Structure 1
Amino acid sequence: MKRWKLLLLLILCGGLAGCSISHETETPSDSKGVMTKRQVLNLASSQPIRTLDSDKMSQFGRLNNTIEGLYTTANDGQAELALAKKVHVNAAKTTYTFTLYHDSYWSNGDVITAKDFVYSWQRALAPKTKAPDADLFTGLHNAKQILAGKLPATKLGVSAPSKFKLVVKLDHPMAELPQRLAYPLFGPQDERIANKYGRKYATRPQYQVYAGPFMVATKGYTKTHWHLVPNPHYWDRDHVYLTRINVTVFTSQKKMWQAYQDGKLDEVHLPFQKDKHLEKQADYTARPYSKMLLLSYRQHGPKAGTNRLLKQAQARLAISHAINRKSLGSSTYGTTSLPALGIVPAGLSRGQRGTADFAAAQTNQSTLAYKPTLAVREWQAALKQAGTSHTTLSLSYLDTPATAKVAKRLKQQLTKVLPGLKMTLKAREWTISEQDDEVDTDITLTTQRAQYADPLSMLALFTTENAANTGHWSSEAYDSLVAQASNASSFNNQRWQNLLKAEGILMKYQGVTPLLQPASNYLVNPKLNGVQFNTVGTQSNFKGAYFVR
Structure 2
Amino acid sequence: MTQRQVLTLATSTPLTTLDADKMTKFGRLNNTIEGLYQTNRDGQTQLALAKRVQLNATKTTYTFKLWQDSRWSNGDTITAQDFVYAWRRALAPQTKAPEADLFLGIKNARQILAGDLPATQLGVHAKGRFTLVVTLDHPMVELPQRLAYPIFGPQNQRVATKWGAKYATQPKYQVYAGPFMVSSHGNTAKHWHLIPNPYYWDRKHVYLTRINVNVYHNQAQEWQDYQQGRLDEVRLQSKTDVKSAETQTTYTARPYSKMILITYRHHSSTSIPSQLLRQTTTRLAISHAVNRQALGRNTYGKSSLPAQGIVPAGLSRGLRGTTDFAASQPDQTALTYQPKVARQQWRQALKKVHRHRITLTLSYLDTTHGRLVATQLQKQLMTTLPGLTVRLKQRAQHLNGHSSPLNGDLNLNTQQAQYADPLAMLALFTTTNSANTTRWHNRDYDRLVAQASNATAFNTQRWRTLLKADGILMREQGVTPLFQPASTYLMNPHLNGVRFNTVGTLSNFKEAYFAR
TM-score (norm 1): 0.92
Amino acid at match of 1:168: V
Among residues 478, 484, 493, which one is paired with 2:445 in the alignment? 478
Amino acid at match of 1:41: L
Among residues 187, 199, 204, which one is paired with 2:165 in the alignment? 199
Q: Is 1:462 the equivalent of 2:432?
A: no
2:145 paired residue number:
179
1:235 paired residue number:
201
Q: Is 1:112 the equivalent of 2:78?
A: yes
Change (3 A) 1:303 1:442: farther
Counterparts of 1:52 and 1:475, CA distance in 2: 38
CA shift at 1:47, angstroms?
A: 2.2
Q: Is 1:39 the equivalent of 2:5?
A: yes
Deviations 1:430-484 (A, max 9, x none): 1357778653221211111111111000000000000110101000000000001
2:186 paired residue number:
220
2:125 paired residue number:
159
Secondary structure of 2:311 counterpart: coil
Counterparts of 1:432 and 1:172, CA distance in 2: 36
CA shift at 1:253, angstroms?
A: 1.8
Deviations 1:102-142 (A, max 9, x none): 11111111111101100100111111111111111010001
Change (3 A) 1:437 1:465: farther
2:222 paired residue number:
256
Q: Is 1:48 the equivalent of 2:14?
A: yes
Which stretch has the larger CA shift, 47-56 or 431-440?
A: 431-440
In the alignment, is the contact (CA less than 8 A) between 2:318 and 2:325 conserved in 1?
yes
Counterparts of 2:194 and 2:474, CA distance in 1: 43
TM-score (norm 2): 0.98
CA shift at 1:531, angstroms?
A: 0.7
Counterparts of 1:249 and 1:431, CA distance in 2: 15
1:95 paired residue number:
61
2:266 paired residue number:
299
1:492 paired residue number:
459
Q: Is 1:440 the equivalent of 2:411?
A: no
Counterparts of 1:515 and 1:51, CA distance in 2: 33
Secondary structure of 1:87 counterpart: strand
Deviations 1:49-95 (A, max 9, x none): 23211011101100000000000000001110000011110010000
CA shift at 1:227, angstroms?
A: 0.2
1:548 paired residue number:
515
Deviations 1:353-374 (A, max 9, x none): 1121101010111111111111
Deviations 1:412-434 (A, max 9, x none): 11111112211221211113577
Q: Is 1:338 the equivalent of 2:305?
A: yes
Change (3 A) 1:223 1:485: farther
CA shift at 1:303, angstroms?
A: 4.9
Counterparts of 1:478 and 1:279, CA distance in 2: 41
Amino acid at match of 1:352: L
In the alignment, is the contact (CA less than 8 A) between 2:495 and 2:515 conserved in 1?
yes
Secondary structure of 1:117 counterpart: helix
Q: Is 1:382 the equivalent of 2:345?
A: no
Change (3 A) 1:250 1:301: farther
Counterparts of 1:215 and 1:320, CA distance in 2: 45
Superposition RMSD on alpha carbons, in Å? 1.3
Counterparts of 1:432 and 1:146, CA distance in 2: 27
Deviations 1:385-437 (A, max 9, x none): 12322221112111110111001111111111112211221211113577786
In the alignment, is the contact (CA less than 8 A) between 1:301 and 1:442 conserved in 2?
no
2:361 paired residue number:
394
- How many residue pairs are counted as aligned between the two chains? 515
1:169 paired residue number:
135
Among residues 383, 386, 392, which one is paired with 1:419 in the alignment? 386
1:317 paired residue number:
284
Amino acid at match of 1:390: R
Counterparts of 2:396 and 2:75, CA distance in 1: 39
Secondary structure of 1:246 counterpart: strand
Amino acid at match of 2:357: H
Secondary structure of 1:162 counterpart: coil
Deviations 1:210-249 (A, max 9, x none): 1000011111223431000001111111211100000011
Which stretch has the larger CA shift, 221-230 or 277-286?
A: 277-286
In the alignment, is the contact (CA less than 8 A) between 1:107 and 1:210 conserved in 2?
yes
Amino acid at match of 1:491: F
Q: Is 1:274 the equivalent of 2:241?
A: yes
In the alignment, is the contact (CA less than 8 A) between 2:269 and 2:275 conserved in 1?
no
Change (3 A) 1:233 1:302: farther
In the alignment, is the contact (CA less than 8 A) between 1:268 and 1:523 conserved in 2?
yes
Among residues 481, 503, 509, which one is paired with 2:476 in the alignment? 509
Counterparts of 1:366 and 1:422, CA distance in 2: 26
Counterparts of 1:65 and 1:515, CA distance in 2: 31
Among residues 174, 182, 189, which one is paired with 2:155 in the alignment? 189
Amino acid at match of 2:126: A
Deviations 1:478-537 (A, max 9, x none): 000000110011100000000000000000000000011001111111111111111111
Amino acid at match of 1:364: D
Among residues 405, 408, 432, which one is paired with 2:372 in the alignment? 405
In the alignment, is the contact (CA less than 8 A) between 1:397 and 1:444 conserved in 2?
yes
Secondary structure of 1:264 counterpart: coil
Change (3 A) 1:278 1:307: closer
CA shift at 1:278, angstroms?
A: 2.5
2:333 paired residue number:
366
Among all aligned residue pairs of Structure 1 and Structure 2, give the percentage whose two residues are the same amino acid.
Answer: 64
What stretches of structure 1 move > 3 A for 4+ residues in a row? 432-438
